[in-house]
Amino acid sequence: MNFLHLLSSEAVQHITIHCLNVSVWRSAEDQPVTQGSVKFKSWSGEVFEVGGELEPEVLEDSCWMKDGRWHQTNFVFHSLDPTLLPVVDIYNLPKSSPGSHYHLEVGPVCFL
């Protein structure tokens, strides 16, 4: 991994959280992102989080809808510091309860 970091000037990774009746980023469409939302630990140990210096770009967030159908929240991590990627851990994932589920789709890192 260190070799890829040294040869690269930037890196990109996509993570999608598929969800059923559980929110992971916002609690409603018109609500701001909360501090209790998911957080992502970088390769170097820093944390991508709401309001932090390293906040992920959110392309879509429909997980706040609790209508008995599957939805998703799509995160993009783009950094000019390639040592931040890949994401190695995810914090604050919601607790599963009857009728609510989620699963992660973690994409590869593209080193540029």
Give the predicted TM-score (pTM) of the model.
0.92
Domains of the chain (ranges plus CATH)?
2-111 (2.60.120.1000)
**Which band of pLDDT confidence, cut at 50, 70 and 90, is reported for residue 107?**
very high
Q: Is the pLDDT of residue 22 over 80?
A: yes
Phi and psi at 25, nearest 5°, equal -125, -65
CB of 112 within 8 A of CB of 12?
yes
